[in-house]
Each structure stands twice: as C-alpha cells, then as structure tokens.
Amino acid sequence: MTPAVRCIGIRHSFGEHLAVDDVDLDIAVGTVFGLLGPNGAGKTTTIRMITTLLPVKTGTVEVFGLNVTRRKMAVRRLIGYVPQQLSADSSLTGRENVALFARLFDVPRKRRAEQVDAALDAVGLLGDAGRPASGYSGGMIRRLELAQALVSSPRLLILDEPTIGLDPVARSNVWERIQAVRAETGMTVLVTTHYMDEAEQYCERIALMHRGRIRARGTPTELQTRLGPGSTLDDVFRAMTGEELEEASGGMRNVRATRRTARRLG
C-alpha cells in the first residue's frame, strides 16, 4: 500500500549547516507517527519539506504517492498543518478563525458553516466559538489551531510540537482530541515532540532524530526492548547519541523556544 509519507534521502542545508542529513521516512496510512528529538535536531525542517513549505533540493518526498515538488497544490490539499508559531488571530472569535482557514483551504462554500462547526466540536470548542480567541487559555488556543487544521478534512495531519508549554491536563486534552478525530476518520498523524513520555503513550511508531539524522526507529516498545527491561525512550536516546536529552536540548536555544511559546500562549 502506498504510504502516507515517504522521504528518501532528503537533505537540507542552511548555509554551511546541514540541518537534515540523508533522512528516509516511511509513514503508513492511519499511523500516529512521532518524530522525536531535541531542539535543533531537524524535525521542523523535515516537516517543512513534507508540507511543501521548503523546497526538496536533494532526495524525494511523496505524500500519498504524490511528489511534493511536482504536485505541490495537490499535496497541500491533503495536509492539515499546525505549525509551532501562532496561527490563530486573537482579535477574531474561535469560529471566525476556523472559518478563515475554511476559506483559505477552499472548503466548498455550501459546506463551510457545517464543517467549521464540526471542527470546533471535534476539539471541544463549540461552546466557546463566539468568544474572541484573546480570552482563550493556552490549551484552548492549541485546540483552536487543531480545528483550523482539521476544517479541510485532511488525510494527513502534521503537528509541530503541539503541546509545548502546556500543563499536563491541557496536554492530555489536546492528545485526546487528536486521537478521537483519528479514530473517527482514519487520518494519518505526524507529530514532532521532544516529550518522550507523550511519544511513549500516544505514538504507534517513532523515529528518533538527532543532529539532522534519524538515529533509531520502530515502535516505542521495540526501541525500549532493545535496551532491556525498564528502559525509557530517554534511555534509548542516550544510548543512540551518547548525550542526555536534557543536555542536547539545553542552552539558550531551548530557553528561547520555550519563551517564544510561552509568550504566544500567554
């Protein structure tokens, strides 16, 4: 069966810096796939190539068998994308925000109102849809962004760090919504995260990325079993890279990224 995503030998450089280095990925239709790694591993750059936002200069990317370079517009129609940066407008209501995306993504006019409400309902925001997003909590904003991505009924949902900066309750709430929509629609989900516990709990398959390369892949259990009983994904990461995840994701960059998110949600 044609996979939802296939990357073969993709590379991307920013100047001299090789951010994505010979990455192969195969994501089966209907899977929740986690691309894991610390800040700066190359996860966002990989995702931006899959979503057609960055050109694929080396290697090949296909989404449901469509080449992202040759069939850019067709690929975009299949994808719902929740980026790390703020994509909701705080001056608009929840419903207006989702309606804007419905227009952007060419949801047929006749079906728009119905699909906007269905997307808001799927993320548990129908009751708050008439309020300006400026009054939403961080978790509600993330769920609103999820509704924006879902309104076009994508076959592939891509989420870049969907729960960064959220408290544990809001984090599990976002995940429950993602899982419910997935169960109902059979949509494929590609998610990046550096929360290993979330990957263990919610992802069926994962790839561990570090310094531009995939260092390990498999189901969470397969990866943990390779190291022996009681191992966590943090242990796997350490064994693959020789570094602590904390160390690898530490420093100013991490602080800046967290602050950026906190500001955006605050």
Ligand X SMILES: Nc1ncnc2c1ncn2[C@@H]1O[C@H](COP(=O)(O)OP(=O)(O)OP(=O)(O)O)[C@@H](O)[C@H]1O
Stretch that binds ligand X, among 12-20, 95-103, 109-117, 177-185 (CB under 6 A): 12-20
The per-residue b/e assignment along 186-211, b for 16 or more CB within 10 angstroms, e otherwise, is ebbbbbbbbbbebbbebbebbbbbbb
- 14 part of the interface to ligand X, by CB under 6 A: yes
Q: Tell me: does residue 25 bind ligand X (CB under 6 A).
A: no
Binders of ligand X among 205-224, rule CB under 6 A?
A: none
Would you state the structure tokens that stand for residue 248, as one six-digit string?
């690898």
CB-nearer residue toward ligand X: 17 or 110: 17
Confirm or reject binding of residue 41 to ligand X (CB under 6 A): yes
Among residues 11, 43, 143, 217, which is the contact residue for ligand X, using CB under 6 A? 43
36 binds ligand X (CB under 6 A): no
Query: The tokens 């309020």 sit on which residue?
Result: 131
φ and ψ at 247, to 5 degrees?
-60, -50
Supply the minimum distance, in Å, between the C-beta of residue 158 and ligand X.
12
Window 140-199: residues binding ligand X (CB under 6 A): 161
Which residue in 7, 10, 146, 257 binds ligand X (CB under 6 A)?
257
Q: Is 50 in the site for ligand X (CB under 6 A)?
A: no
Q: Could you say whether residue 252 binds ligand X (CB under 6 A)?
A: no
Among 10, 27, 44, 61, contact with ligand X (rule: CB under 6 A):
44
Nearest residue to ligand X by CB is 44
Number of chain residues interacting with ligand X (CB under 6 A): 13
- Find the farthest-apart pair of alpha carbons in the chain and give their distance in angstroms, rounded: 56
Q: Note whether 37 binds ligand X by CB under 6 A.
A: yes
Single out the segment in contact with ligand X by CB under 6 A; choices: 35-43, 114-122, 150-158, 221-229.
35-43
Non-local (6+) Cβ contacts of 147 within 8 A are: 94, 97, 98, 119, 120, 122, 123, 125
Rule CB under 6 A: say whether 40 interacts with ligand X.
Answer: yes
Return the DSSP state at 210: E
Confirm if 161 and 10 have CB atoms less than 8 A apart.
no
Residue 19 sits in the site that holds ligand X (CB under 6 A)? yes
Task: State the pairing for strand pair 5-14/17-27.
Answer: antiparallel
Structure-token pair, residue 52:
């057609």
Torsion 103-107-112-114 (CA) sign: negative
Give the nearer residue to ligand X in terms of CB position, either 15 or 230: 15
CB 237 within 8 A of CB 22: no
The binding site for ligand X (CB under 6 A) comprises: 14, 17, 19, 37, 39-45, 161, 257
